[in-house]
Amino acid sequence: MKVFDTVEEIPNAASVLKIEEFYPKDLNIDLDGCDGRGVNRHLDFFRPKFHAWLETTRRKPTAEAPVTIRFKWATFFEWPIYRDGPEFASTFGDILRIRKDLQELAAKTLSAMSKFAGVEPHPPTLDAPYLGVHLRTESDSLGFWPNFEEQSNGYLQQSQKLGLKYAYLACGDAKEARRFTDKARNQTMPLHVATKMTLLQGEDYQRLTNMSWDQQALVDFLVLSKSTHFTGCSFSSFTMNIAFKRHLMTGGLNTRQWKSPGDQFSTLIGRFESWYGDWMFMYECMWP
């Protein structure tokens, strides 16, 4: 598979036919009397239907006339990944790799986190005991998500349950991060909290702050993935993806699907009792 950074790099880009906001479910018009989500049962037929759609609408790509397609909606709300089998479901998400410079910053953050937890780092094996926490209370979080008190109480309960005295915190709001850090430090069994901003120094800190916010978040992604135990907000796709990735450690390629609220490696806060809401589809439709 060849991956291009931009459309302009595709051979014969001047002849590209751009299809915007393509929605796979639009190919399934028979709902069998169900509501809109009922079309999920017909996803097995997507490939032949998709090829037929390309043929009948004269959109079939060729080397001379390439076609680009942009999905209308995020597939992690729509496509049950295990329809393609556990081997594919467990590995497809690794096709795109995190950049080497981000991996290097994450490694330095992990080393600093190890020292913060009082364990001298010995790369490449870093086994410092720490809780990974993703606090999702930024201004764009939705009102029905777990609030700060619900999330923080749940995370601190996990630290006490597991006997962990150190935590690595990821949060996009510095004020909320300080709020959690203070609360963690002042509980009966203090939890000492660090972030990438407090762990990195000098040129490494400068390299980090020169990156965009989503690039910086990938450093968090890698460090949280290596934590002794991980916990985060169950409505967050960022949290869920880390938990799903860690879940693969339970059985490798043949790992069973995730079950709320967690496993021995991760625990999500804000447990669901119903599978009918759109957010629940992330449990079945997100590539780890």
Q: How does pLDDT run across 46-92, given as a tens digit for each residue?
A: 788 889 988 888 888 999 999 999 888 777 777 778 878 888 888 88
3-state secondary structure 11-62: CCHHHCEEEEEECHHHHCCCCCCCCHHHHHHHHHHHHHHHHHHHHHCCCCCC
pLDDT classification of 39: cutoffs 50, 70, 90: low
Residues 130 and 42 in one domain: no
Assess whether 216 and 258 both reside in one domain: yes
In a domain, 68, yes or no: yes
Total count of domains within the chain: 2
Summarised one tens digit per residue, pLDDT across range 112-157 is 999 999 998 877 666 789 999 999 999 888 888 899 999 999 999 9
Residues 259 and 196: their CA atoms lie apart, in Å, by 30
Q: Range of 126's domain?
A: 100-285
Are residues 230 and 136 located together in one domain of the fold? Answer: yes
> Is residue 122 located within the same domain as residue 240?
yes
Tell me, yes or no, whether 115 and 161 share the same domain. Answer: yes
Residue 1 lies in a domain: no
The CATH number that applies at residue 146 is 3.40.50.11350
Residues 210, 175 share a domain = yes
Q: How confident is the model at residue 277 (pLDDT cuts 50, 70, 90)?
A: low
Same domain, 221 and 145: yes
Q: Residues 110, 194: one domain?
A: yes
Per residue in 172-208, pLDDT (tens digit) is 999 999 999 999 999 989 999 999 999 999 999 999 9
